[in-house]
Chain A
Amino acid sequence: MVHRANASHIGGCLSIADLLGVLYTSVLRVDPRRPDWPLRDHFILSKGHAAAALYAVLAERGFFPLEWLEDFCRDGGRLCGHVTSPRVPGVEVSTGYLGHGLSIGCGMALAAARARRPTRVFVLLSDGELDEGSTWEAILFAAHHRLDDLVAIVDYNKIQSFGRVADVLDLDPLAEKWRAFRWAAREIDGHDHDAIAAALAAVPFETGRPSVVVAHTVKGKGVSFMENDLAWHYKSPDPAQLARALAEIGAA
């Protein structure tokens, strides 16, 4: 998709591929035939620039035809480079501007909590968007309102748009920051499927508190020449790179 469209953000797509895979196979209560099913869990990809990864997963789960992926980011296509709704089944809300997703998730979780409805809300954030003040407004809000059906997952790949997190605006100690804001936090390897499934099966970690999973990930995971390289926030693989990458992840 990304190669065909000459699109960006493949590094940040690969860092969340395992998280998305586990979410959509064994965690989220969703029904591809009824994307608006009232009892569904809500999922928000707040790091909307990783749209290619989400769209691939939604298509695989049958929310829309796989053929839609062919036109990703291309003239006249249905899917653009950041997560967009409406008109894309399975997408709750458009994202792409950073620092919005957790607030929207708070609103959904608050509506459910006050109606005593067991709707769970999962929001996947990038580490870079933890620079946004609005994210911390939402972190305060969720804890204050005891939104324990709200789960944040941080894709902590430690590389943001124009540098390493540690060099741009250091987030460490990240889990401790969330705990100080009265969230229940766990740290996992964000590429270990068992660890992801176990953590997400255990939410809420504490009654009366929102949960956060700090997932330690690798930007560009699975493709040796992309791993931990800032350039792959922007670059699109050429044909040779694509072939090599597919071979490395065993998809060739």
Chain B
Amino acid sequence: MRGAFLDAVCELAARDERVWLLTGDLGYSVLERFRERFPDRFVNAGVAEQNMTGVAAGLALSGKVVFVYSIANFPTLRCLEQVRNDICYHALDVKIVSVGGGVVYGPLGYTHHAIEDLAVMRALPNITVVAPGDPVETRLATRAVAARPGPCYLRLGRAAESVVHREEPAFEIGQPLVVRDGADAVLLAVGGLLANVAAAAERLATDGIDTRVISLHTLKPLDERTLARVVAGPRHVFVVAEHVAAGGPGELVSALLRRDVAVRSLCLRPDVTGLVGRRDYILAAQGLDPAGIAGAVRDALGWSPPRAASGP
């Protein structure tokens, strides 16, 4: 995703002189291209995220569209007060980009897991919160947040994510994308879990369970009617997110949907902080790999395997 992001930002910067890119001393082997092409609009602010965020506010107050780049919780929680007051409260054109949303930096440990970020960021005023589902969505989302006035949080994975969208979808902020249709259950995938959710849907199809897969890439703004429309039909709704339960996408969707739909949240459990391993390992341990997601759906729907036809 970060490659797709950088391609899109370079494209934007070539067209629009207001576009700047700030980094908190991260982006080795990624951001060099931007630095070489647009040296006057690039700043490595050093390992100083609070100041970087304030500088971004000052630039935006001077008419710039500023992308702030870092990883995990560094551009959000480390400098939350600057994000809240200097950027969000003033509704400035600053786009905060975090690479490594969720447990992407698995083996680096808990310090590098961004798993409360969506809850925290969506509580802030005036901000748009977007977590694209694959590299295609990342490219489109980057363009969309640049074009949208005001602050934005763009939560990305890292590198080498599977492409889910074979064709370019009509990406619009606030409009969930239906990736696959189905009548038995709705699976709302948030951010980089889209590929696992799509794979789970394949497995479920072989069991005769027909699921609708939706990329819920925008968590704010998200209106009740839009959400109700895309999930309409099936009586079971699952929200799958690489995030803790508190304030996460599951709670958001439950609050927005009417009460006769069963909303289940598949998300990270508190014991995630004790796990050591790659992202895939952690996701499997938390039931967020394709097998785990498919299993949770089968259980909720009361599905049981067909009895063997042959007798003794």
Contact = CB atoms under 8 A, between A and B. Distances in A.
Nearest to A98: B81
B43 A110 contact: yes
A134 B64 contact: no
Contact of A111 (B45, B54, B63, B81): B63
A8 B64 CA distance: 36
A141 B51 contact: yes
B40 interface: yes
Contact of A107 (B41, B55, B89): B55
A93 B48 contact: no
A93 B46 contact: no
Contacts, number: 89
Interface in B18-57: 40-41, 43, 45-46, 48, 50-57
Contacts of A140: 46, 48, 51
Contact of B58 (A94, A103, A133): A103
A27 interface: no
Contacts of A93: 57, 61, 86, 90
A86 interface: yes
A141 B85 CA distance: 20
Interface residues of B, number: 27
A88 B210 CA distance: 57
A56 interface: no
A85 B90 contact: yes
B62 A107 contact: yes
A109 B51 contact: no
B215 interface: no
B54 A100 contact: yes
* Chain A contact residues, majority secondary structure: helix
Given A86-B90, A106-B55, A134 B50 contact: yes
A108 B58 contact: yes
Give the interface centre of B45, B55, B61 by most chain A CB atoms within 10 Å.
Answer: B55
A97 B50 CA distance: 12
Give the interface centre of B43, B58, B60, B85 by most chain A CB atoms within 10 Å.
Answer: B58
Contacts of A111: 58-59, 62-64
Given A100-B85, A111-B62, A114-B40, A141 B57 contact: no
Interface of B: 40-41, 43, 45-46, 48, 50-64, 81-82, 85-86, 89-90
Interface of A: 85-86, 92-94, 96-97, 99-100, 102-112, 114, 133-134, 137-138, 140-141, 144
Given A103-B82, A114-B40, A134-B51, 8 more contacts: A94-B89, A100-B82, A103-B52, A108-B58, A108-B62, A134-B54, A140-B48, A141-B46
16 contacts: A93-B90, A94-B89, A97-B81, A99-B50, A100-B54, A103-B57, A106-B51, A107-B55, A107-B56, A107-B57, A107-B59, A111-B63, A114-B41, A137-B46, A137-B48, A140-B46
Question: Which 6 residue pairs across A and B have the least CB separation, nearest first?
Answer: A107-B58, A103-B54, A137-B51, A111-B62, A137-B48, A134-B50
